Structure 1
Amino acid sequence: MTIWHVRAEWRKIASRPLTLLLFAVLTVGCVTTAFYAQDYWSHTVNAAQNGLRNIENGESYRSCLELNPKLGPEYCTRTGEAERQGTEEWVADSREKAAEAARAQTVPGALGWAAQAFASFPGLVVLVLLAAQSMGTEYDNRTAGNLLLADPRIRTHILAKATALWLTTAAALCCAGAAVAVFGLVKGRADYPLHAFHLPPGEDLLHGLRLWGGALAVTAVWSLVAVALAALARGQAGGIARSGALLVLLMLGSGATWLWGWLPGGIVADVMAFHPGDVLWNVWWGPESGSAVPLPVRALPTVLATALGIWWIMHAAGRGNEVT
């Protein structure tokens, strides 16, 4: 594989209408979820805090006495305690979600917001479709023979196409992050006051870089796997079916907390800090595992299994595409 080979493949992938359409939809989705998250949680956290203030200043108690004079103060006191407990839980939950939404109002946070979408279910589905089109069409259009005659090593073509797809994805990720940042800085900060939830600049930068680096790693692995599976299947439909089945398999196990942290899907969730939310796409994948075992320890089996799996797929694809 040479830089010229990658450059040629990158031109083909980046200029396809499907590539532009899918990444445009993903970018619009990132901006849309950022808008709804900031709009919903800014209003929700204000409503929760107002409710707690009404309880603390006794307004809720007085309203209870006015509405229920026959039940008496004892009833209103018990009701007020239950209401206080529920409202405090509501405030804590809304503040946590508001802090997540507030990250999209800074440049590093906006990049991290887009990174989470690209490394989660919707982003990986886009990679599956583009990988199948990149490699699968070579077989569907009967041009794979020309590639193998030029270089009989199918692994060279897989690496070139996967690298080109990953570079295209990285560029689209940066564009999506920029779009979210523009929305957050121009409209989000003015219309949705979440300044109290912004992270300190240094912490915000580290968190954004962690998510961005994690997304680049996840999409690099998935680009290689999806292209190799399309080569192994020798067609678009087979590549989509195999990659899709593997993607669904990775998402299984999120309900078992003790097991999720050791599965590849749980490792990705921990790296990308996936939190369940009402408007976040990554809720489709699964939340962070919450495992007490350090992430590097849990990630080692996944890294080894992934490397072994990629080697096997590449080896099998090479055997099935020999030029005779």
Structure 2
Amino acid sequence: MHDLAARLMHAFDPEDAHGLTIRALKMGLGPRGGGDDPILATDLAGLKLANPVGLAAGFDKNAEVFAPMLAAGFGFVECGTVTPLPQAGNPRPRLFRLTEDRAVINRMGFNNGGLEAFAARLRQARAAGIVGANIGANKDAADRIGDYVTGLKRLWGLASYFTINISSPNTPGLRALQTKAALEELLGRLAEARDGLPAEGRVPMFLKVAPDLEDGEVEAIVETVLAHGLEGIIVSNTTISRPPLTSRFAGETGGLSGAPLMTLSTQMLRRFHTAAAGRLVLIGAGGIASGADAYAKIRAGAHAVQLYSAMVYEGPGLVGRIKADLAERLRADGFSSVAEAVGAA
């Protein structure tokens, strides 16, 4: 029923459909997942997950529906991206379904209600399960790095983990924070801020990177992340590249997600797995639409995975199908846990 409802939403403008979905979830109309197969239980930088399939940032920008999405079967939910001040984002239309390509292009621009409203809702998160906070910078911030520090401090003690989002292509200049000098300053200031906060609120911190990195950047990012005490990296955000596409919206500007991102993001994940050499936790994102995709990410080096765009086409029942298939694949290959399969390829 819920998967049918998701397909019916295609009669609406994509952003309007998303808003209707959030409203329905807040009314309690979301799906309910069953118990998880024990083989899927895993540890993610100290976070105990019932399963390794997470909901990526962007779906629940304002931390409104993390509880219904956990109830739907996700092992963890990442809310945001949230910025210190509310902002409207880029002009509409800014979200496009590429149906023929099973893809999405967005140029949302970090539209969100700001930290204060986000924090008020996140106070309920610990009772619900593993809920992360994806933090970013306001478009017109005079000190963008200061915005990340503000987000960390304001949400300290409220989130199960933090994701530092420097890889969205829809805020001008943001991806420049991935360069070595800028990343050193960003992570250095964040590490200093974290060290000055109460120890009982300390949780894992992940860096979310783009799939469009150049040679040498992967290794530099890994070493910088390690030097500043972050626990892991999410590989990857949307891409500004354009593989062959057939949809009439293929020429829209913004970040491409969905099925065409699977190969590129998995290749980038393998590069990070090699560079990290077991020293960091990696989360695989980008293009996951099946148990086979999730398993490929894990075998490429991911300790957990995240998805979002595929639900546009497959509906919320997708998470249950992925988990069932993943458990079957693990057993078929002789693994007794997710952890055993990480990097097996």
Same fold (TM over 0.5): no
* TM-score bucket (shorter structure): under 0.3
Q: Greater CA radius of gyration, 1 or 2?
A: 1
The structure that is strand-richer by fraction is: 2
Calculate the TM-score normalised by the size of structure 2.
Answer: 0.25
The structure that is helix-richer by fraction is: 1
Calculate the TM-score normalised by the size of structure 1.
Answer: 0.27
Higher relative contact order by CA 8 Å / sep ≥ 6: 1 or 2? 1
